[in-house]
Amino acid sequence: MFLGIDLGTSSVKAALIDEAGKTLAEASRPYPVRSPRPGHAETTVEEWWESTVAAVRECTAGRGGAVRGIGFSGQAHGVVALDQHHRPLRPAILWADQRTTAQVSEVLALPAALRLPLANPAATGMAGLSLMWLRDNEPATYAATRRALSPKDWLRFAMTGEVATEPSDASMTLLYDVVADRWSTELIEALGLDAAMLAPIVDSSAVAGRLTRAAAQALGLPPGIPVAAGLADTAACLLGMGQVRPRATVLQVGSGIQTMTVVERVEPKLQPFYNTYRGVGGSLYVMAAVQNGGTVFEWARGVLGASWLEMYEGAFESGEGNGGVVFLPYATGERAPLLDPDATASWTNMRLGCSRNQVIRSVFEGVALAVRDSWDALQREGVTASHMLLTGGGSADPRWRQLLADILRMPLMPALDMGNATLGAAYLGGLAAGHWASPDDIPFASATEATIDPRPVDGLDEYLARFRATYRGLKQANG
């Protein structure tokens, strides 16, 4: 049996699989994300550890002795600062943290030759920027820091006593040369950071340590189990779904909406709207992240005073359409394809006869148009796909699925039960144990629900153009 552990933003999940890749048990435990100041996002490592122990014990109850390998997935971009004795100096700074605006400007001021190999935009929340913030705002903490680890790398260290990272998490730090597949020592030096803080890099499926006796006792597992280096969450999701070959594309719908496509090579650009990351076995994938998915639905529902039943009935059953209303869903700013943290949400083109149901319909269409806008921008960069696998808890309603397919003009294959990041982590455990020699040997699930083919939508091109023009007009008006 193999154990996968996914250290998410607000909870940790564990999954136990057998030698055929079948899931035998799952468990999860929550922990808080704290914001001691506006824009800050932190969690203590002690809370991660306590929740992990509880989740693993529940998941492996009565079968812990049969676990042969452990793999990891985890939230990316975070920073755990450790002192010379490998003790945490402060709570971990997480990906959702927004405190590094000044540090973004510092990176953008660097010469293009240093920034280009990063193949990623400088954006708040990335680990390299958080390290710079510590340097500038908590100099005593920075001076005492001997290692800076990502969340899942810290959890693996807590289990093995070995310090390491792997290409997927490293490529998300903004300190990594994605093209050359190594730490960007030139950039790190230019930023005045200490490269010795960064962990050595091993392959994602390689054995990065073995379970210590103390950790094994806490977790209820045998000591000495081989532990894989792991993957960042989106890379683990691709592996869990078996999407590891070029052109494989996943549309993940949740609080945000990510379009992820495996690609063959890197074509780096300065401050691109999309991310390019490393995956399992040296693979590459691009990801366009739309921030405003489920988050903006929940916000709009509150603004309109509507229940979820009223939202879906108003959007899909009333037959009223949108009445010409255009909704921009940028309630939290937007990443792909705008890279505009100051973008705002709005309803426009409303008249006296506009109904509540039309406004509700415009919300669903606005979110779908934002995803289409992002996908069109990726296609202009040469990314192609014949279909998308659809996953995520925000994609369950068949009417919403159909609207996404219609507006994307792309066949969608719902794959809600095919796999996830936790399963990807468990597969890594099997690779570390030597049960599978490579990802090609893993018996990935392949069953999907019926393909959702796009239907013709009258006036879609004009509506999409109006959507884009509304953003540009408001951007210009707001300066």
Quick: pLDDT tens for 102-134. 999 999 999 999 999 999 999 999 999 999 999
CA distance 232 to 279: 8
Where exactly are the structural domains of the chain? 2-235, 243-417+449-479
For residues 452 and 402, is the Cβ–Cβ distance under 8 A? Answer: yes
pLDDT at residue 395 tops 80 = yes
Q: Confidence band (pLDDT; 50, 70, 90) for 445?
A: confident
pTM: 0.91
3-state secondary structure (DSSP) of residue 272: coil
Quick: pLDDT tens for 254-283. 888 999 999 999 889 999 999 999 999 989
* Rg of the Cα atoms in the chain: 22
Q: Residue 36 is inside which H or E element, if any?
A: none
Q: Residue 477 is inside which H or E element, if any?
A: helix 460-477
Q: Is the alpha carbon torsion for 222, 228, 234, 235 positive or negative?
A: negative
**Nearest-5° angle of CA 130, CA 133, CA 134?**
90
pLDDT at residue 357, as a whole number? 97
CA distance 73 to 193: 27
Domains 2-235 and 243-417+449-479 share a fold: yes
3-state secondary structure (DSSP) of residue 209: strand
Residue 233's nearest CA partner among 260, 193, 200, 269 is 260
| Whole-number percent of the chain with pLDDT over 90 | 89
Q: Which residues contact 214 (CB under 8 A, 6 or more apart)?
A: none
- Beta strands (DSSP E) in 248-358 are 249-253, 257-263, 275-278, 284-290, 326-329, 345-348
Q: Confidence band (pLDDT; 50, 70, 90) for 342?
A: confident
Quick: pLDDT tens for 349-383. 999 999 999 999 999 999 999 999 999 999 999 99
3-state secondary structure (DSSP) of residue 321: coil
pLDDT at residue 417, as a whole number? 60
What is the CATH code for 243-417+449-479? 3.30.420.40
Q: What is the DSSP string of 143-193?
A: HH-SEEE-HHHHHHHHHHS---B-HHHHTTTT-EETTTTEE-HHHHHHTT-
Q: For domain 2-235, say whether CATH 3.30.420.40 is its number.
A: yes
